[in-house]
Amino acid sequence: MLDFITINEHSSIRIDDGKIIYSDPYNIKNAAHDADIILITHSHFDHFSPDDIRKVMKSDTVIVCPSSMTEPQELGLTVKQVTAGDKLEVLGVRFEAVPAYNIGKPFHPQSSGWLGYIIDSPDHGRIYIAGDTDITPDNKQVKCDIALIPAGGMFTTDAVQAAELANTIRPKYAIPIHYGTVAGSPDDGEKFRKAVDNGIEVVIKL
């Protein structure tokens, strides 16, 4: 199910949709050097890892990152800096930048301008990568077909809160991420599944 999406670990996502798109590559085991586009949600070590980016990047890879981040410039690649609400096209792939932030937690302040992304896929519809976030007025408005939502708690939504967001935005498919290693426990995926409404198909990839 959704075989074109791979979750390496935590929030490290690979999407093979004509172009190879990585989001927040982390703990990459094999140096594939196959990334056409790398999306970075924010600057924390488990989301922006230069060593892991070097394992997947090519000389012509394009990085998309929040405008508040300057660190990706040091990798010597083309870098597109974006802010929440921006729509852009990179190598023929259309993206939207969505705010990602905490409410009542200090880890991801809204003022940092950190992001989630929506990939507009002609074959698979709108793919929402939520980033490190709580349920917010912004992400409750997201329209998507596939949603990848953090479920590990502590720094983000926990499994039940992630399910609440899925139940609000009603994707066709929901994939829990950001649990089992850096945050959360290995059973958070099943907790998420049990809390998601009938009619939304949960796909566990961690």
Greatest alpha-carbon span in the chain: 46
Using pLDDT thresholds of 50, 70 and 90, give the confidence band for residue 150.
very high
Nearest by Cα to 108 from 180, 184, 47:
47
Using pLDDT thresholds of 50, 70 and 90, give the confidence band for residue 154.
confident
All structural domains of the chain:
5-197 (3.60.15.10)
pLDDT confidence of residue 182: 84
Nearest by Cα to 107 from 180, 181, 11, 43:
43
User: What is the percentage of the chain residues whose pLDDT exceeds 90?
Assistant: 93
Q: What is the DSSP string of 80-133?
A: EEE-TT-EEEETTEEEEEEE---SS-SSS-GGG--EEEEEEETTTEEEEE--S-
Distance CA 77, CA 60 (A): 7
Interval 76-105 mean pLDDT: 96
Interval 83-110 mean pLDDT: 96
Please tell me whether residue 170 adopts helix, strand or coil conformation.
coil
Strands 93-99, 62-66: parallel, antiparallel or unpaired by DSSP? Answer: unpaired
Nearest by Cα to 6 from 206, 144, 156:
206
**Order of strands across the sheet with 87-90?**
87-90, 93-99, 115-121, 125-129, 146-150, 173-177, 201-202
Nearest by Cα to 141 from 156, 126, 152:
126
Using pLDDT thresholds of 50, 70 and 90, give the confidence band for residue 115.
very high
Interval 126-149 mean pLDDT: 98
User: Angle at Cα 5 formed by Cα 125 and Cα 74, nearest 5°?
Assistant: 100
Residue pair 126/143 in contact by the 8 Å Cβ criterion: yes
pLDDT confidence of residue 206: 83
Nearest by Cα to 109 from 119, 99, 117:
99
User: What is the percentage of the chain residues whose pLDDT exceeds 70?
Assistant: 100
pLDDT confidence of residue 185: 87
**Phi/psi of residue 21, nearest 5 degrees:** -115, 125
Instruction: State the chain's mean pLDDT as an integer.
Output: 96
pLDDT in tens, 171-190: 999 999 999 888 888 999 99
pLDDT in tens, 5-47: 999 988 999 999 999 999 999 999 989 999 999 999 999 989 9
pLDDT confidence of residue 181: 85
Its pTM stands at 0.96
Interval 75-83 mean pLDDT: 97
